[in-house]
Structure 1
Amino acid sequence: MKTQKFRLSRIVMNFLLLVYAVFAIFPLIWMLLISFKSDTEVFTTTFLFHPTLSNYAAVLLESNYVQYMKDSLIVAGGSVLVSVVVGIPAAYALARYNFNRKEDLAFQILSFKFAPEILVVLPLFMIYQKIGLYDTYLGLIWVYQLICMPLLIWVVRGYFEDISVEIEYAAQVDGYTWYQIFFKMLMPLVKPGIVAAALLSFIFAWNSFTFPLILASSKVQPITVAITKYLGTDTAHYGQLAVAATVSAIPAIVFALCIQKHLVRGLSFGAVKG
Structure 2
Amino acid sequence: MREPERDVREREREAGRGAGRDGRGPGRDGRGARRVAGWLADAALVGYFVFALFPIAWMLVLSLKPADQLFSTYFSFTPTLGSYRTVLGGGEGIPFLRFFVNSLVVSVGAVALSLLVGLPAAYASARWRFKGSENLMFTLLSFRFAPELTVIIPLFVLYQRLGLFDTYVGMIWVLQLVTLPLVVWIMRSYFADLTPELEQAALLDGYSRTQAFFRVALPLVKPGVAAVSLLAFIFAWNNFVFPLILTSNEAQTVTVGALSFLGGDRPKYNLTAAAALVSVVPPLLLALTIQRYLVRGLSFGAVKS
Per the TM superposition, whether the score is higher than 0.5 is yes
More helix by proportion, 1 or 2? 2
- What is the letter of the counterpart of residue 237 of structure 2? W
Q: Tell me if 1:108 matches 2:139.
A: yes
Of 36, 48, 62, the residue aligned with 1:34 is 62
Match of 1:83 among 106, 111, 114: 114
8 Å CA contact 2:287, 2:294 repeated in 1: no
Shift of 1:4: 5.2
2:208 to 146, 160, 177: 177
Q: Please point out which of 148, 164, 176 is paired with 1:117.
A: 148
Cα distance in 2 between the residues matched to 1:82 and 1:88: 10
Answer yes or no: is the 8 Å Cα contact 2:87–2:96 preserved in 1: yes
Residue 8 of structure 1: CA displacement? 4.4
Structure 1: unaligned runs, 5 residues or longer: none
**Distance in 2, Cα, partners of 1:29 & 1:256:** 20
Cα drift, residue 114 of structure 1 = 1.2
For residue 11 of structure 1, report the CA deviation from its aligned partner.
3.6
Counterpart residue number, 1:235: 266
- CA–CA distance in 1 between the matches of 2:90 and 2:103? 19
Work out whether residues 90 and 97 of structure 2, in 8 Å CA contact, stay in contact via their aligned partners in 1.
Answer: no
- Verify: 1:19 aligned to 2:47, yes or no: yes
> Structure 2: which amino acid aligns with 1:112?
F
Distance 1:173 1:41 in 2: 73
- Distance in 1 (CA, whole Å) between partners of 2:153 and 2:237 is 21
Task: Within 5 Å, give how 1:1-274 maps onto structure 2.
Answer: 1=28, 7-63=35-91, 64-265=95-296
Bigger mean CA offset, 110-119 vs 147-156: 110-119
Alpha-carbon distance between aligned partners in 2 of 1:8 and 1:175, rounded to the nearest angstrom: 64
**Counterpart Cα distance in 2 of 1:177 and 1:9:** 59
Deviating more after overlay: 180-189 vs 36-45? 36-45
Q: Secondary structure at the match of 2:67?
A: coil
CA-CA distance at 1:264 after TM superposition: 3.2
Distance 1:105 1:38, change over 3 A: same
Unaligned runs of 5+ in 2: 1-27
The residue that corresponds to 2:4 in the other structure is: none
SS of residue matched to 1:264:
helix
TM-score, with normalisation over the residues of structure 1? 0.92
Larger RCO, structures 1/2 (Cα 8 Å, 6+ apart)? 1
Contact 2:127-2:192 within 8 A present in 1 as well:
yes
Residue aligned with 1:98, SS: coil
Structure 2 Cα separation of the partners of residues 95 and 194 of structure 1: 15
Deviations, residues 57-107 of structure 1 (Å, cap 9, x unaligned): 211113322111000000011000000000001111111101120000000
Structure number with bigger Rg: 2
Preserved CA contact (<8 Å) 2:114 2:180: yes
- Higher mean alpha-carbon deviation, 152-161 vs 169-178, is at 169-178
The one-letter code of the counterpart of 1:49 is F
Moved more, 128-137 or 46-55: 46-55
Report the alpha carbon displacement of residue 9 of structure 1 after superposing the two structures with TM: 4.1
Q: Determine helix, strand or coil for the equivalent of 2:68.
A: coil
Per-residue deviation, 1:211:
0.8
Q: Percent identity?
A: 48
What are the superposed Cα offsets for residues 136-192 of structure 1, whole Å, 9 maximum, x if unpaired? Answer: 100100001000000110000011111122222233233333233211221121111
Q: Distance in 1 between matches of 2:150 and 2:213?
A: 37
CA deviations 1:36-69 (Å, max 9, x no partner) are 0123333333322121222112111133221110
